[in-house]
Structure 1
Amino acid sequence: MKLLVTIALTCALFSKAYPLDCVTCEGPGPCSQTETCPASQTKCVSFTAAVTLGEILTEKKKSCATPAQCLSGSLNGGIFMATINTQCCDSDLCNNQEPPALPESSTNGKKCFTCTASGDCTSTLECKGSEDSCFKSSGGKVKGCASQSFCSGALNAGRGAIVDLNCCEGNMCNNALRIGQSILFLLLVPLASFFLFN
């Protein structure tokens, strides 16, 4: 019996970790493409990102991911909302599922400052669902509520940050300075979730 336990432990210690194979594609529907993941990406991921800016735009994607990228959440700027719903798994070709876009959530009691389309940044926004932080962009031109996953930068991990957010945790902690908005920046913020896994 001791010999079997010793052999099993030795095999476990010296066995080679094989890379994970994941389904990879963009868009809804069945996927037939696969990829072998780099050693740092130990999860297969399937995600649905949605941006509401006048209309709802949705993107679905399947690929390899790091554990830090297995997060879901929302970024709410009042005049736009970006959400991402991520499902991760850790066996070969396990990411065939298509998670739905995150559903509309009810308010959670937290409030943050937001900017209107006219550039008035003194408006109050009621946060929803998992939005537990207030944010403002590094230039202060966009403000609102965010889930911790957006604030931590984990959704951009290894992909290069597209938007630099400054987050805080108290009610109305993202101050109310009046700053004119850049329409280009407003378009980049909600589209950030579309490029998280590129």
Structure 2
Amino acid sequence: MLLLLIFGIVLLPKASTLKCYQCTPDASGSCVDKEKECPSNGFQCGALRVSSYAGASKLSDISMKMCAMAEQCVEGSLNFGVSRTVVTSKCCNSELCNSQPAPEPGKSTPNGKKCFRCDGQTCSGTLNCEGNEDHCISTTVDLGGEKMTMKGCASKVMCSDSQIAQLPGGIGVGLSCCQGNYCNSAISTRAGLLLLVAPLVTWVMLS
């Protein structure tokens, strides 16, 4: 009986996992689709796009594909006034279904919520939140050993530790999110310069 059980386990077909396209951008921002079997049944096929803007000008537009967990299939933005980074995604559950890139961000408009922003010397300026940005954010970055504060608007999903930790440039050190107009208190600080020299340009999610 034990022998039969052992043979049964050995001969059972391997649980089928999803096969997806994987595409990780190189330094130039381009990539080539490769087929990859996902590690487990908990994954979906995903396409992700990260678009960065300075005012109305698009600074970068990076697309990638991967085996994605549900929490990686997000739509949201981080808005510091001088720069705004928008993440869009498209996830699906069938074989190689992520052949198309994630959609481009739609045009966003002010939603009535207001947060403090930093403008070089102080963080007492007003930023009108856009789209689904329903939280105010305050975070500290380390630029050449000097701590600088950044304040602005964020979508709720961007406030989670697992999401913000994947942003570049040290964003997320001392991160805090809150709800309510101007809840990210105005504190005088040297800020804003980082946004001019190192805008948020990518979001790396490697499965």
Task: Tell me the CA shift for residue 99 of structure 1.
Answer: 2.3
Partner of 2:171: 163
The structure-2 alpha-carbon separation of the partners of 1:195 and 1:96, relative to structure 1 and needing over 3 Å to count, comes to same
More helix, by proportion: 1
Partner of 2:95: 92
Question: Aligned partners of 1:61, 1:48: CA distance in 2, in Å?
Answer: 6
Secondary structure, counterpart of 2:149 in structure 1: coil
Partner of 2:154: 146
Identity of aligned residues (%): 34
Question: Aligned partners of 2:89, 2:49: CA distance in 1, in Å?
Answer: 7
RMSD over equivalenced CA pairs, Å? 2.8
Secondary structure, counterpart of 2:200 in structure 1: helix
Partner of 2:20: 22
Secondary structure, counterpart of 1:68 in structure 2: helix
The structure-2 alpha-carbon separation of the partners of 1:143 and 1:160, relative to structure 1 and needing over 3 Å to count, comes to closer
Partner of 1:129: 131
With normalisation by structure 1, the TM-score equals 0.79
Question: Aligned partners of 2:79, 2:167: CA distance in 1, in Å?
Answer: 21
Question: Aligned partners of 2:199, 2:177: CA distance in 1, in Å?
Answer: 14
The structure-2 alpha-carbon separation of the partners of 1:188 and 1:167, relative to structure 1 and needing over 3 Å to count, comes to farther
Question: Aligned partners of 1:103, 1:190: CA distance in 2, in Å?
Answer: 19
Identify unmatched segments of 5+ residues in structure 2: 1-11, 142-147
2:47 is the alignment partner of 1:46? yes
With normalisation by structure 2, the TM-score equals 0.76
Task: Tell me the CA shift for residue 101 of structure 1.
Answer: 2.1
Partner of 2:3: none
Secondary structure, counterpart of 1:195 in structure 2: coil
The structure-2 alpha-carbon separation of the partners of 1:173 and 1:46, relative to structure 1 and needing over 3 Å to count, comes to same
The structure-2 alpha-carbon separation of the partners of 1:106 and 1:185, relative to structure 1 and needing over 3 Å to count, comes to closer
The structure-2 alpha-carbon separation of the partners of 1:153 and 1:104, relative to structure 1 and needing over 3 Å to count, comes to farther
Q: 1:4-47 CA distances to partner (integer Å, 9 max, x unpaired)?
A: xxxxxxxxxx9853221110114699954111112275111101
Question: Aligned partners of 1:30, 1:141: CA distance in 2, in Å?
Answer: 34
Question: Aligned partners of 2:30, 2:195: CA distance in 1, in Å?
Answer: 32
Question: Aligned partners of 1:41, 1:119: CA distance in 2, in Å?
Answer: 47
Contact 1:46 1:86 survives alignment (8 Å): yes
Task: Tell me the CA shift for residue 153 of structure 1.
Answer: 3.3
The structure-2 alpha-carbon separation of the partners of 1:150 and 1:160, relative to structure 1 and needing over 3 Å to count, comes to closer
Question: Aligned partners of 1:189, 1:16: CA distance in 2, in Å?
Answer: 45
Identify unmatched segments of 5+ residues in structure 1: 1-13
